[in-house]
Structure 1
Amino acid sequence: MRHENLSYVTEFIFIGFPKLQDGGLLYFFPLLFIYTFIVIGNLLIFCAVRLNTYLHNPMYNFISLFSFLEIWYTTATIPKMLSNLLSEQKTISFVGCLMQLYFFHSLGNTEGTLLMVMAIDRYLAICSPLHYPTIMTPQLCAQLSAGSCVFGFLILLPEVVWISTLPFCGSNQIHQLFCDFTPLLRLACTDASVILVQDVVHALAILTTALIISLSYIRIIVVIMCIPSGEGRKKAFSTCAAHVAVFLLFFGSVALMYLRFLATYTPFWDMAIALTFSVLSPFFNPIIYSLRNKDMKDAINKLLCPQKTFHVSAK
């Protein structure tokens, strides 16, 4: 078998994209619409929170940061997908592949960590309302936001650096819509057990984060069910419904993608899960946060129609 040192690997070829003459444009325009909607929708949420002083509290600050991250999370992959749909070669340089992998997963890790912070924030707000203002101070809110970003971008750096030192051999074809860990490691001249170890490490990180979030929301639901007032229960549920929906959507797609270890799917399901994980999940997030929250809808309306008067009450 011919071994190539990493320094001689210049580009990879994406396999699975439809050719332009085979209907590539039919996929291009829906994907372009989804990407445009994601960027505009999340940008509206981010600006609405930042420009409305009534929403300057921890919950909405975390939501605005999550929306900001979603813009860059999708930008790491979708523009290249759009380019590949119009291109005959469908290639990406080795450095470009590593950069895409690093930023996509670093932003994804940051979002996962931020969802955990948001769950803890709601737990404190509902389960310890009297202590919440003294615990979740603006300083702590800023530290948690910055810490999520720093952690998300540092935790994967050693792994990406390690991949950059691997020798590659044989085919340089990536059977995926974007550069990901497992498809890239399958092209390296390494033992298959390395992929299994990498899958186990990622699975433990995903399960730990999901467990902490799940326990927080289970405790929240138990406390809400003990509220005697029906109106009080409804109000408490409304503040958490969007967070729970985004959590289930995000970690549900993550589980399908990364909790399978060495199991393989057919190319169709591989692509479908990748689209759900990288495209459809971010597409629904701005819808959930805007339509499920009256304060957010009023803030966005105020941003788009400043001449009108809207009442926004911070929760």
Structure 2
Amino acid sequence: MRDFSKGHEWLSINTATIRKQHGAEVPLDRIIDQCAERGIRAISPWRDQVAAVGIDKIARQLKAHGIGLSGYCRGGFFPAPDAAGLQAALDDNRRAIDEAKLLGAPCLVLVVGALPGALDGKALYKDIGRARGEVRDGIAASLEYAGQVGLPLAIEPLHPMQAADRACINTLEHALDLCDELDPSRSGMLGVALDIYHVWWDPKLQQQIARAGKERLLAYHVCDWLTPTRDLLSDRGMMGDGVVELKKVRGWVEGAGFAGFSEVEIFSVFDWWKRAGEETLDICIERHRTVV
């Protein structure tokens, strides 16, 4: 396992981690500057943050700072109540693939979606099997285009608590089953984004990480699971503040062949989003060196 104690060259910051500072939204160009000031050499930005500043400006800024991407957030949300909605989702995913390619991302992260309308409190249908079928078909169609442009897709399984509204793929095993069905040759164009927050509890985690192997492990996200958790979406913990055996899991991930960035992704409405971005980044660096 790599030794992170002497530096942070393998640290990436998912820009959700400091998108709010002192409780207010901070533009992506400022976030990139803050990362550059600390020698952080990779980020994973969100599409809405990129759009707010302008993708060409962000591309130039990243190049000027020598900062790369560990991923791009996000594609997915494939299910829809009708044919028009399904096509709109495919069109949006094609745009996301193009954006990721332009920015030099190694993969587009897919939060696949679930019951349409559930995020707004009114599911337009309740058949989760249907949703999973639409996810499968949407990934298959997007994979065809992604292959043409050479941009890998990374399915992110989400915790079962989000099965109704955000993602109906909820275990690493399920995500890998889809990968094996749609990409049996293990081409490197379809894999998984492994987010500790969503998978740490899984009794099959070590087995499925080994199954994934180097070809399927496209991104690795770290944070911690707090007890008690005050909000199931936006109360992630800083690494070392919760119950996850982070070094053990990274050992499994690297043992399977992953040699990329450990990407910090923290949604924290009660704590870290209330702080200065500089403070949060400094602690991310320290925890990356000591507990990740």
TM-score of Structure 1 vs Structure 2, range by shorter chain: under 0.3
Higher helix share: 1
More contact order relative to length (CA 8 Å, sep ≥ 6): 1
TM-score of the two chains, using structure 2 as the length reference: 0.24
Higher strand share: 2
